[in-house]
Amino acid sequence: MTTKRSLARPDWWMDMAEPGAEAGNLRHYLGVRDSIAARIESGDLAQGACLPSERQLQIGTGAARGTVRAALIQLEAEGLIYRKDRSGWYVAPPPVVYDPTRLEGFMSYVSAQGRVPLTETLSAHEISAPPAVAEILSIAPDTPIYEIRRRRYIDGRAVLLERIYVLPEVAPGVIQHNLDQSLTSLLRDNYNISLERNWVEMQPCALTGDEASALRIKTGLPGLRLRRICYDALGRVVEYDIEHWRHDALKVCVDIRGR
């Protein structure tokens, strides 16, 4: 019976350098990328494990520092690893599954998959509705509306920044409540509002500016932009959400059945 090498050993990455591979493919960033990916796939690097430093990887592979950095950036773009500020590179956890056909909130579907969700309210105040938002809400531009800005976590990692727009006439004083909880539950329990229909749009994007800063990632990394319009039984728009996800945190799955 073989036992996987302990991650505590400081020299596991030294095996990445093949004998005699002085200037071969291994020194190309894709060769370094393939070697690290193989360690992840084999389980030598478990989910959440910290990779050796870039300097250590450079020594172990015999590759240039720029080559190692390019390999790590490629792995990050593929969703296999991610970077923590001033901490290093880590093996990415599996994404959560999202089914846009189900009327289920973030807290609910993340918990149902055995993960730990957390919501952090960054701001909540009344604003004048921008023209694009006013059109969605079927109101005149500059009409007072609530804007809620929240950062959401899965297993302690920031994965999502969202902006939610709500009409005061639909949920008066909603921003005075604790918004670190499920907004769906808050509307149901305090305002007797149940969501009956969602319109959802998803498209890839680059995470820049406010989104990148809030998610503590390097600007320009790929992400997923999701817009959701939620309606009640009367067809009123209850809330309008704009979400920006880390590209490695979410997997969209839909189960379509024939009649």
Q: What percent of the chain has pLDDT over 90?
A: 61
**Which is it for strands 88-91 and 237-246: parallel, antiparallel or unpaired?**
unpaired
User: How far is Cα of residue 14 from the mean position of the Cα atoms in its chain?
Assistant: 32
Residue 239 is predicted with a pLDDT of 96
Q: What is the mean pLDDT of residues 212-236?
A: 92
DSSP symbols for 194-246: ---EEEEEEEEEEE-HHHHHHTT--TTEEEEEEEEEEE-TTS-EEEEEEEEEE
**pLDDT, mean over the chain:** 87
Lowest-pLDDT choice from 55-64, 104-113, 121-130, 181-190:
55-64
Q: How sure is the predictor about 20, in pLDDT bands with cuts at 50, 70 and 90? A: very low
Backbone angles phi, psi at 224, to 5 degrees: -125, 125
Mean pLDDT confidence for 100-128: 94
Flag whether pLDDT at 4 surpasses 50.
no
**pLDDT category, 189, cuts 50, 70, 90?**
very high
- Please tell me whether the overall predicted TM-score, pTM, comes out greater than 0.85 for this model: no
Q: pLDDT band for 7, please (50, 70, 90 cuts).
A: very low
Q: What is the pLDDT of residues 120-157, one digit of tens each?
A: 999 999 999 999 999 999 999 999 999 999 999 999 99
